[in-house]
Structures are given as structure tokens and as C-alpha cells.
């Protein structure tokens, strides 16, 4: 299990931008694909985006394609989620997690989650 810490959330107006970060102290982070997920009260956690361990492949939920960009900086053991043109529907707690493959990440694959970071988009 790789302990992860999400950060960067906050309050932003609709149409604005935020960049989230997912960091760890473990060096094995570079061997993992990393995914971002989000959850709002009363709803199931959903997949947002993922990036392969190599950084060469990225995947996005249809709802965020063209607006969100996932990237990684392994020298900092950090994965970023750049969010642009935010909608009120993007309001959620955002979580990250690691797995072997970026293409098949599903929220139900994971048992443990970090604290997440709250993103609130106001209209």
C-alpha cells in the first residue's frame, strides 16, 4: 500500500481553474499508474483520470475530457490534475490512488483511500 496525500483543493468560481497534487514519500511511486477519483455526498465515487507509470498513456472520464489534464513528475513523486473551465458539477472531494494499470482503474478496485481534497465550484 502506498500512502498518498492529496492537496490543492479549494473554492473557485465556475469557469475557473485549480491544480490538484497527489504526493507520496515512497520511491516505488514511479512504478505505479496513478488515478484521480471524486465523490460527492450521496453518490458513488467515480473515476476522473489516470496516467500510466511511464506517463505515456492517460485516460479521462468523458465528463472531464478537454478540461482536465493529468501529469506526473516522478522526480517529485507527484501526480497533478490540472482542472480548467470548472463547472458546479465538478464540486466533489477528489482522491488519488495507485494501481498497476492506468487503463482499468475503477473506484471499486481500492479498499484504502487518503483524506482527499475538497473542490467547491460556485456559480
Count Cα atoms within 13 angstroms, Cβ side, for 116: 16
Strand pairing partners for 47?
Answer: 37
Q: Which residues contact 53 (CB under 8 A, 6 or more apart)?
A: 30, 31, 32, 33, 102
Predicted local distance difference test score (pLDDT) of residue 33 = 95
Residue 86's pLDDT is 98
pLDDT digits (tens, 9 = 90+) for 52-92: 999 899 999 999 999 999 999 999 999 999 999 999 999 99
For residue 98, the model assigns a pLDDT of 94
Mean pLDDT value across residues 99-120: 93
**DSSP letter (8 states) at residue 122:** E
| Tens-place pLDDT, residues 6-51 | 999 999 999 999 999 999 888 788 899 999 999 999 999 999 999 9
Amino acid at each position: 500500500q502506498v500512502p498518498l496525500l492529496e492537496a490543492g483543493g479549494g473554492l473557485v468560481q465556475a469557469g475557473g481553474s485549480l491544480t490538484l497534487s497527489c504526493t507520496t514519500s515512497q520511491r516505488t511511486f514511479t512504478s505505479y499508474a496513478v488515478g484521480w477519483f471524486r465523490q460527492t455526498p450521496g453518490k458513488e465515487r467515480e473515476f476522473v483520470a489516470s496516467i500510466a507509470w511511464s506517463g505515456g498513456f492517460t485516460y479521462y472520464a468523458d465528463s472531464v475530457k478537454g478540461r482536465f489534464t493529468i501529469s506526473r513528475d516522478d522526480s517529485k513523486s507527484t501526480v497533478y490534475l490540472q482542472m480548467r473551465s470548472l463547472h458546479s458539477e465538478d464540486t466533489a472531494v477528489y482522491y488519488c490512488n495507485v494501481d498497476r494499470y492506468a487503463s482499468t482503474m475503477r473506484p471499486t478496485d481500492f479498499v484504502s483511500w487518503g483524506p482527499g481534497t475538497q473542490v467547491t465550484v460556485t456559480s
